[in-house]
Chain A
Amino acid sequence: MSDLVQQLSRSATADRVQARLKQRYAAERRFRAYGVVAIGLALLFLVTLLTSIIGKGSSAFFQNEIQLNITFEPAVIDSEGLRDPAAIAGADYQALIRTALGSLFPEDTDRASRRELIHLISQGAELELRKMVMNDPALIGTTRPVWLPVAAPVDQLLKGHMSRNTELGGQFNARELARIDHLTGQGLLAAKFNKWLFTQGDSRQPELAGLWGAVVGSFYSLLVTLALSFPLGVAAAVYLEEFAVKNRWTDIIEVNINNLAAVPSIVFGLLGLEIFLNVFGLPRSAPLVGGLALTLVSLPTIIIAARVALKAVPPWIREAALGLGASRLQMVTHHVLPLAMPGILTGTIIGMARAVGESAPLLMIGMVAFVVNIPATPLDPSTALPVQIYLWAASPERAFVERTSAAILVLLCFLAVMNATAIFLRKRYERRW
């Protein structure tokens, strides 16, 4: 055997290995560095995304308001003195604001100045005043300081989102800027917590647009989704895991579930549009239909998670139950399901979290309308939180960028809470057999 292997043996091997070692270790270090860079890159994206959104959105939780000394002039609000709600509702509240503004800037009497002045104030201010008077007609005839929302451009300027220079996109001339500075200096302009964001429905006026309608819409949709997908998902998982005989039929079901889990969600939207709206004639834009579509989206996730949880229950539990004369269904309901429940719940919450952030199917079934009213039932037209984000993101006003980011922060908070609950459940009740 006078061959290569013979020649190589002994120290020959060691020497040749030695010769290449440096090179090989360099490759090793490079490879390792790629991994670190990749992870760093992924985390960098995450940090950029979050800081970008928090940076843009945090200011939306505050809204600049102006303090005006409003005189609730009976002549304007209720000229006949009858306290007729219809008359009060139809009164010209802008006149009150104009008067109050005029007393702040008595020298600005020309038309242009008056127009500039009223443009400082949001149109929502009138609604606010009307609401105050409707709630408490005794206000009529009194004079009191009231904080009212300023118009979106003023708000943006004060938050530093808009330049003071008209050449750089600023909307205010020197006179207006002087007025705003004057008010700020006097403490009459100040940032307050943005209650509109959490109480109002959508609005064309950014400073009045709120998330509450979308939150309620999302809540109703989710309620429908949970009510359907949890029982159905658990039932399907129990059947497949505990009762079904392994055959062609169950194979087909399995393949179907796994595929549905990976079907693009927009396809479920198309299904919802065609079946729920066109065939069954259910109302468009309703959270009920949204919930049905989201059920289809989240069902495969829940079934798969529930099956994993059921599989984790050791067989001797089942044998013990059957050995005592329990029926198979009793075995499942008394022993297997309770033991698998933490896992099932965790999977359900994760499925729900996916559904909360899902928007594509909702676009298809029309939950993408401009809805001002807060939906009262799951059949009223509504949007959902992610769809509201989509709608606001498409709005051209600068002020909506801030709101969109704030809406995203709210959505992310919901998701964080849901996922934290799921993790808590898993940690708290996880059982190792």
Chain B
Amino acid sequence: MDPGAERTQSNGHTKVAARDVNVYYGEKHALKTVDLDIRINEVTALIGPSGCGKSTFLRCINRMNDLIDGAKVTGSIVLDRQDIYDRNLDVVQLRARVGMVFQKPNPFPKSIFDNVAYGPRIHGLANTAGEIEEIVVTSLKRAGLFEEVKDRLEEPGTGLSGGQQQRLCIARAIAVSPEVILMDEPCSALDPIATAKVEELIDELRENFTIVIVTHSMQQAARVSQRTAFFHLGELIEVGDTESIFTNPSHKLTQGYITGRFG
């Protein structure tokens, strides 16, 4: 059964289409035959108990799993008609198109400015210092961080508070103008106020980017996402509009999870 793929046909344009994706970490079968479509300019939330494979799936979308020894991915993930596991596809280019924000804020030990400018610099997205600056300022503004840091762009990014660091990482990701942004529990290390700010930001970013977010918090999934996919023990159990998933889940496991009987 593949409810996600079915419904996608009728609704918005599909940005990423995963088909028959399996992931093995050595002997461990971490992700089992997952089919999932991610729609453009929407926030897709991946939920499920710990170890259910949601982060694994997220990391497949920009091939961060390549960095793990012994990880093997089968099946296909298509980004705009291009299979990202195709041998001819360039992983560097892929990651420029599919950005990522990590669970723990990981600013580089450089200035705030250099953190944001890093992506555009390595990819050659700007030719002059002026252009770089423009990108940095815009990205910081879009990440809602600019007002807080505009006077100390030269200070190290590691000196910011946790919430600010995470928004800096988001600014760093959007400075490359990716098409998709993957977020791996971006608020798990943040306090509620910082979380609220980041959630607000995610909602704004939806306008220009396709966003996939892994979250532990069902409230968060409900607040920020349009669509929600529920994973359990490496399998995709159910995917659908967030509203319907939370109000009327079709699967028993989903129901059990969102009503808090396990997880």
Contacts and interface: CB of A to CB of B under 8 A. Distances in A.
Contacts of A186: none
Interface string A8-26: 1110111011111100100
Interface residues of B, number: 23
A4 interface: yes
Given A4-B135, A5-B138, A21 B179 contact: no
Interface in B110-127: 122-126
B175 A5 contact: yes
A20 B93 CA distance: 10
Given A1-B138, A20-B123, 16 more contacts: A4-B126, A4-B135, A6-B208, A8-B125, A9-B208, A13-B96, A13-B125, A14-B93, A14-B96, A16-B123, A16-B125, A17-B97, A17-B123, A17-B124, A21-B90, A21-B93
B179 A16 contact: no
B198 interface: no
Interface of B: 90, 92-93, 96-97, 122-126, 131, 134-135, 138-139, 142, 174-179, 208
A8 B93 contact: no
A216 B131 CA distance: 74
B173 to A, nearest CB: 12
A3 B179 contact: no
6 contacts: A5-B174, A6-B208, A8-B125, A10-B179, A13-B97, A13-B178
Nearest to A7: B177
Interface size grouping (class) on chain A: 10 to 19
Contact of B124 (A4, A9, A12, A19): A19
Interface SS of A by simple majority: helix
B178 to A, nearest CB: 7
A14 B177 CA distance: 9
Contacts of B135: 4-5, 8
* Most chain A CB neighbours (cut-off 10 Å) among B97, B174, B175: B97
A8 B127 CA distance: 12
B15 to A, nearest CB: 11
A19 B174 CA distance: 20
Contacts of A4: 126, 131, 134-135, 138
Contact of A24 (B92, B125, B177): B92
Nearest to B90: A21
Nearest 8 interchain pairs by C-beta: A8-B177, A20-B124, A9-B177, A17-B96, A13-B177, A5-B138, A17-B123, A17-B93
A5 B97 CA distance: 13
B58 to A, nearest CB: 20
A12 B177 contact: yes
Given A20-B124, A21-B93, A13 B138 contact: no
Nearest to A10: B179
B96 to A, nearest CB: 4
Interface in A8-53: 8-10, 12-14, 16-21, 24
